[in-house]
Structure 1
Amino acid sequence: MFILLVFLLAIDPRYHTAAEVAAELDSIAQHHPDITLLDTIGYSTQDSLLILAMKISDNAGEDEDEPEVLYVACHHAEELLGVEICMYMINDLIENYNIDSLHTYWVNNREIWIVPLLNPEGHTVVMRGIDTTWRKNKHDNNHNGIFDLDYDGVDPNRNYDFHWAEGGNNNPASEYYRGEKPFSEKENQALKALCEAHSFVFCNTYHSARTGLGEVVYFPWVWSGGYSPDFPVIRSVADSMSKLIINDAGNGHYTALPGEGLDGKARNWLYAVCGTFTFCVEVSTTTIQPGWMVDDICQRNLVGAYYLLERMNYAAVTGITYDAETGEPLSAEVIIDGYYDPDLPPRRSDSCHGRFLRILSPGSYNITIKKPGYEPEYLQGVEVTSDKTTELDIPLKKIENSFHLNNDNDTIIIYPNPTRNRPLTIRIKDPVLFQSLRIYDVCGRVLKNFNQPINTSLCWTGDDDLNRQAGSGIYYIVGEYSDTEESSVRRAVGKIILLD
């Protein structure tokens, strides 16, 4: 009986163990130091197993001004196929470098980061046959020093800090247990640190469905009737990628679907907080397929993964923001009219190179570049085409003696701006109470008074105090508030551009 039980729980040796993943990555890094960098990004929560990330790029040891893409597998321990796809991809990119022109182009012109095994301690539970349906890590929830299958563990894909309390389960016995607090788990902390240190344009997180739909590409998001601000574009990318991945039956392809709910998942946190177009690829029709199917599944999924490396070459806008006087790169907020949500963290150019890259659909766009202490830049009618990436050069002029409430964010947010639309929204971002807000024209004349105390938001329909509509032009909104520490009245200023 014991022998039969072990046989039933045995995992096909085609699947990597955590130790085999680490050994293979180490060997690759030693044999290909010119195009790979192996980084320990963290350790697992309970057993302190290595969490490894491999960077593949020419000059891998340098942070070059190249688009970055991330691939992550094994949030959930039982979902073994994603690990194999990532390992297969690493070997495929390296073996075909300087042999195949496309592979060579990707390695030379992208910074590709791959985390094959985010949850190594949970993965080990599955690979050792202890529980082949185990999903979580091994967090000792009851602090008894014993691994309890019926109580321990946290679901890493419910532990991200974006609407965390609305997802998963608060019962430690649940396989969807979200943890005591957001980012309580070291696995999540490791990925968070990696993502915050880089500016990933795309990310694929690989999963496999034990229940629910398989062979699906989920993207952010539909939630309470609302859509993600980039919904039309991110849906187009997901749809194109899914159609490239042939299903297991060979009679169709994967399906792209918007993810419902926000609930502490990686794809929603990465998109909302980091601005990364993130997709959950539900691989195959179950979590563990026979070993003879693995290579074929990997090959079919590589086509979708590599599509992301190519998609940055067209229907996108990129640019560098820098100090007009010194030439130093600047991290600035980049607002694209129609693809903006003031309730999400701002999308910024990176601080190292001043680079931003936004995936769009072909069309004409109005783009605003903002940084405290600098004059904003308003770019009208930026053309994005289907055959190339539009390049922008954006010097920012410093404002002498400018005042801002803090160094990170503007206090007064005006959206859309510039605008032809009425009304426009004026939001107060910092927790101060303005005693008054006034709108002035360029000659310093008061156009509109908002005399009631304001600390949240208001709408301006473009009218003045006599209910006349303001014409096109530049206007300034000035807010006054009391500084209790200095016993003085201070001001914050925003610029409004009304178009015909």
Structure 2
Amino acid sequence: MKRVPAFLASAVILLIVLLDDDIAVGDNIMIRARFNSFEQKAVVESRLQRLNDDIGAFGIYEASPADIKWLDSLGLNYQTAPISRRLPPIIAELDSFFYTYDEMIDSMYSWQSRFPALAQVEIIGQTQQEYRNIYALKISDSVTVDQDEPVLLFDGAHHACEIMGMEICLALADTLLRSYGIDTNITEIVDHTETWIVPLINPDGNSAVHSGISLNYRKNGRDHDNDGVLYEYLCNDSWTCPTEGIDLNRNYDWYWSSSGSDVPMNYYYRGASPGSESENAAITALVARIRPIFSVTYHSWGEVLYFPWLWSNNQYTPDHGVIFEIATEMAGRIEKEDGLESYDLTPTGGQGGLSPNWQYARYGVISFLPETVAYPDFIPDSEARKNGIVTANLQGVFYLYARIRESQITGRVVDIASHQPLEAEIRILEHYSTSLGPRMSDSLYGRYARILQPGTYTVQAIHPGYPVKTIPGVVVSPGVPTLLNIQLGDFLPGDANGNGRRNGADVVFLVAYLKGIGRAPDPMELGDVNGDCVVNVGDVVLLVRYFKGGPEPQVCISRD
């Protein structure tokens, strides 16, 4: 495969550029507006054409001097940036203080070598066009074991030119590993969570950025026309320049056709079908396997934190209360580059193939998308500036590590007779929606966890072949998890000897067990008549009362 040289665009498309009046922008500028309402956005878009996807409270537009006067008359809050899509192409090199793909790989394997008990590198897939490996790093105190611990996922560079994602991800890995055993908080994090880091989802596109083809190259490397010339473009000095490739953050299988573009050279081209790109398949398979509770996917630019979601009909997610609470706390901890305020906050549009939308909709992952770097830059122009952005964003990360141990309902789902873990659907009925994928316990431990705000909830566990179990009145307190283990299956509480009937023989069986001269009920729940999850003399008393017309024996619902 050949690449477009850094010093010229493809000869085939050069003539198109010279004939395209839209490339000559003149005095027009790019604006980034923040809207206070759908109505305000509708007014602006009655006159200006949007350049970015409609995914939140911010919009990007091309505006003439007359448009600027009109916007000022509306009292709109906006920022500006120049537009200059001119030929010949820009020849620019990325500063050496940014990681290259090879340096990223070397660092990951170096950490694995230095911290073999804590760090493990995994190749999770290959790129669509040039078959570069996509790498993940797992960090945990017993890294070769799939432990019964909450999982967090961090990834970077869906978009090739948004390189700060890789920098933040690698800085996080370095911090966790180098500070383990030294910093008490870091040690606690590594000991009690599993962290997965995918620093670079788009290695092919990243190669175009690092090789000088274009510092603004956004998409992956797919060769649309199969002519063997890769990374073709109409211009290379703006993220809005038409290029080959697929926008990987518009390719996920959630309302895929409702966002992005169906025009192959458009900077938002979503691909020919949902999940068409091998880069997306790699992340899709990883998320399905590890089932993170929180995930963060890093992008650039604008210093704003996106969270799922707000649809055009003003409909938020069923979990909006807790998602908004966490997003607010996270954004409030990430300082903007000017040092005067923290990151802005906005929901995504819910209908579109963005990673946070897809992860939340399909698996219930509470997923965030920080747009790092102050507008209008994608790439910091100094190492000090880069390091400041990394440091600021890590503050948001460490808040998530703290929150993952706080208010929630968590526990294990097991078969009541065999005590084997079950992969069951867990519904919080107050937050349930039929339009979303099932929220499942894992197959290895039967573990589930639902991050919630303090309150009282109804939990329902569903597994084929078992009666549905509904548990009302589950209380979640501030700052601490509520433990609720769930047993599924049919049995008769009070049938202590397990013969399928309740009679006087069960009283004799329990007395013998409690005196230490007989075997235990199997499972123990058969002997728990009063439902307190303990087998003792009280169960004998209640069973005798039952035979005399007393209350029905109760099922144990374990909460610890």
TM range (shorter): 0.7 to 0.9
The match for 1:279 among 360, 365, 368 is 368
CA–CA separation in structure 2 for the residues paired with 1:227 and 1:399: 41
SS of match in other structure, 2:459: strand
Counterpart CA distance in 2 for 1:399 and 1:281 is: 50
C-alpha contact (below 8 Å) 1:375/1:397 kept by paired residues: yes
Kept after mapping to 1: 8 A contact 2:461/2:469: yes
Give the RMSD, CA atoms, in angstroms: 1.7
Partner Cα separation in structure 2 for residue 397 and residue 239 of structure 1: 41
AA matched with 1:220: P
SS of aligned partner of 1:194 = helix
Find the aligned partners of 2:308 and 2:90 in 1 and give their Cα distance.
Answer: 41
Q: Distance in 2 between matches of 1:19 and 1:149?
A: 25
- Partners of 1:156 and 1:123 lie apart in 2 by 13
Residue 281 of structure 2, aligned match among 158, 180, 189: 189
The answer to whether the 8 Å contact 2:219/2:246 transfers is yes
Q: Conserved in 2, the CA contact under 8 Å of 1:323 and 1:398?
A: no
Equivalent position SS for 2:310: strand
Deviations 1:417-437 (A, max 9, x none): xxxxxxxxxxxxxxxxxxxxx
Using the alignment, how far apart are the partners of 2:466 and 2:479 within structure 1?
Answer: 33
The aligned residue for residue 80 of structure 1 is 163
Deviations 1:149-204 (A, max 9, x none): 24520000010000001111011110111111111111000000100111100000
Q: In the aligned structure 2, how far is the partner of 1:382 from the partner of 1:196? A: 28
The offset of 1:6, in angstroms, is 10
Letter in 2 for 1:287: F
2:349 aligns with: 260
Residue 220 of structure 1 corresponds to which residue in structure 2?
Answer: 308
**Which residue of structure 1 lines up, in the alignment, with residue 488 of structure 2?**
396
- What is the match of residue 472 of structure 2? 380
Task: From 344, 347, 360, give the equivalent of 2:439.
Answer: 347
Distance 2:246 2:400 in 1: 30
Contact residue 373 and residue 398 of structure 1 kept, 8 A: no
Partners of 2:334 and 2:393 within 8 A in 1: yes
**Aligned match for 2:389, one of 278, 283, 297:** 297
The separation in 2 between residues aligned to 1:68 and 1:231, in whole angstroms, is: 21
Distance (whole Å) between structure 2 residues aligned to residue 262 and residue 277 of structure 1:
16
For the Cα contact (< 8 Å) 1:208–1:283, is it kept in 2? yes
What is aligned with 1:149? 233
Q: Kindly indicate whether the alpha-carbon contact (under 8 Å) linking 2:90 and 2:214 is maintained by their aligned counterparts in 1.
A: no
- Given that 1:219 and 1:280 are in contact with CA atoms closer than 8 Å, whether structure 2 keeps it comes out as yes
Q: TM-score, normalised by structure 2?
A: 0.69
Q: Which has the larger radius of gyration?
A: 2
Which segments of structure 1 move beyond 6 Å, counting only runs of 4 or more? none
1:367 aligns with 2:466: no
CA distance in 2, matches of 1:64, 1:301: 27
Report SS of the residue matched to 1:9: coil
Show CA shifts across 1:305-353 (max 9, x none): 1111110111111010000000100011111122111121111111111
TM-score by length of 1: 0.77
Look up the match of 1:248: 337
What is the identity, as a one-letter code, of the residue corresponding to 1:208?
Answer: S
How far, CA to CA, are the matches of 2:415 and 2:179 in structure 1?
Answer: 40
- Aligned partner of 1:425 in structure 2 is none
> 1:17 is matched with which residue?
100
- CA distance in 2 between partners of 1:52 and 1:313 (Å): 28
Equivalent residues of 1:373, 1:399 under 8 A apart: no
AA matched with 2:448: F
The structure carrying a bigger strand percent of its residues is 1
Q: What amino acid maps onto 1:149 in structure 2?
A: Y
Mapped contact 1:51–1:118 kept (Cα < 8 A):
yes
Of the three residues 51, 55, 69, the one matched with 2:138 is 55
Shift of 1:247: 0.7
Deviates more, 1:49-58 or 1:143-152: 143-152
The DSSP-based 3-state class of the residue aligned with 2:348 is strand
In 2, the alpha carbon distance for the partners of 1:307 and 1:387 equals 13
- Using the TM superposition, give the Cα deviation of residue 399 of structure 1 relative to its aligned residue in structure 2, in angstroms: 8.5
2:121 match: 38
| TM-fit CA distance, 1:292 | 2.5
- What secondary structure does 1:197 align onto? helix
Partner of 2:75 in structure 1? none
After superposition, residues 78-117 of structure 1 pair within 5 angstroms as 78-117=161-200
Q: Per-residue deviation at 1:67?
A: 0.2
Amino acid at match of 1:117: L
Whole-Å Cα distance in 1 between the matches of residues 349 and 364 of structure 2? 18
Q: Distance in 1 between matches of 2:167 and 2:351?
A: 28
The aligned residue for residue 446 of structure 1 is none
Q: CA deviation at 1:206?
A: 0.2
Superposition pairs for residues 456-475 of structure 1, below 5 Å?
Answer: none
SS at match of 2:308: strand
For residues 196-250 of structure 1, give each alpha carbon's deviation from its aligned partner in whole angstroms, at most 9, with x where no partner exists: 11110000000002xxxx1111001011222111111101110000000111000
1:177 is matched with which residue?
269
Indicate conservation of the 8 Å contact 2:91/2:214, yes or no.
no
Q: Is the 8 A contact 1:334 1:368 kept in 2?
A: yes
Alpha-carbon contact 2:91-2:213 (below 8 Å) kept:
no
How far has the Cα of 1:287 moved from its partner?
1.0
| Contact 1:312-1:389 within 8 A present in 2 as well | no
Deviation at 1:106, TM superposition (A): 0.5
Give the drift of 1:354: 0.5
**CA drift at 1:272:** 0.2
2:486 is aligned with what amino acid? I
- Mapped to 1, the partners of 2:269 and 2:479 lie a distance apart of 46
> What is the alpha-carbon distance in structure 2 between the residues aligned to residue 112 and residue 9 of structure 1?
35
| 1:451-470 residue CA offsets vs partner (Å, 9 max, x unmatched) | xxxxxxxxxxxxxxxxxxxx
CA positional deviation for 1:264 = 0.6
- Residue of structure 2 aligned with 1:269, choices 334, 358, 369: 358
Paired residue type of 1:43: Q
Query: Where in structure 1 are there 5+ consecutive unaligned residues?
Result: 401-500
| Structure 2 counterparts to residues 433-448 of structure 1, below 5 A | none
Contact 1:313 1:388 (C-alpha < 8 Å) held by counterparts? yes
Bigger proportion of residues as helix? 2
Aligned mates of 1:342, 1:14 — CA distance in 2: 48
Deviation of 1:8 (Å): 5.6
Q: Which residue of 1 aligns with 2:219?
A: 136
Identity %: 38
Going from structure 1 to structure 2, the CA distance change for 1:8 and 1:144 (only over 3 Å counts) comes to: closer
The answer on whether the counterparts of 1:317 and 1:391 sit within 8 Å (CA) in structure 2 is yes
- Partner residue, 2:421: 329
Q: 1:263 aligns to what SS in structure 2?
A: coil
AA of the residue aligned to 1:385: S
Distance 2:350 2:137 in 1: 31
SS in 2 for 1:227: coil
Query: In 1, are the aligned partners of 2:336 and 2:342 still within 8 Å (CA)?
Result: yes
